[in-house]
Amino acid sequence: MEQGRGRGATVPPYGSPRVPGQARAVEPLSGAADEDARGEHTHCEPPAPRTVGSPAPRAAVHRHSVRGQILAALRTALVDGELVPGEVYSAPALGERFGVSATPVREAMQQLSIEGAVEVVPNRGFRVTERSPRELAELAEVRAMIEVPVMLRLARTVPAARWAELRPLAEATTEAAATGDRAGYAECDRAFHRAVLALAGNQQLVQVADDLHRRAQWPLTAAPVARRGDLVADAAEHLALLDALCAQNLPVVQSLVREHFTGSTL
Tens digits of residue pLDDT in 180-202: 888 889 999 999 999 999 999 99
Report the candidate in 196, 197, 214 with the shortest Cα–Cα distance to residue 205: 197
pLDDT tens track for 199-232: 999 999 999 999 999 888 887 665 455 567 788 9
- Cα(79)–Cα(178) distance, integer angstroms: 17
pLDDT tens track for 87-120: 999 999 999 988 899 999 999 999 999 988 999 9
Q: What is the dihedral of CA 29, 32, 34, 40, to 10 degrees?
A: -130
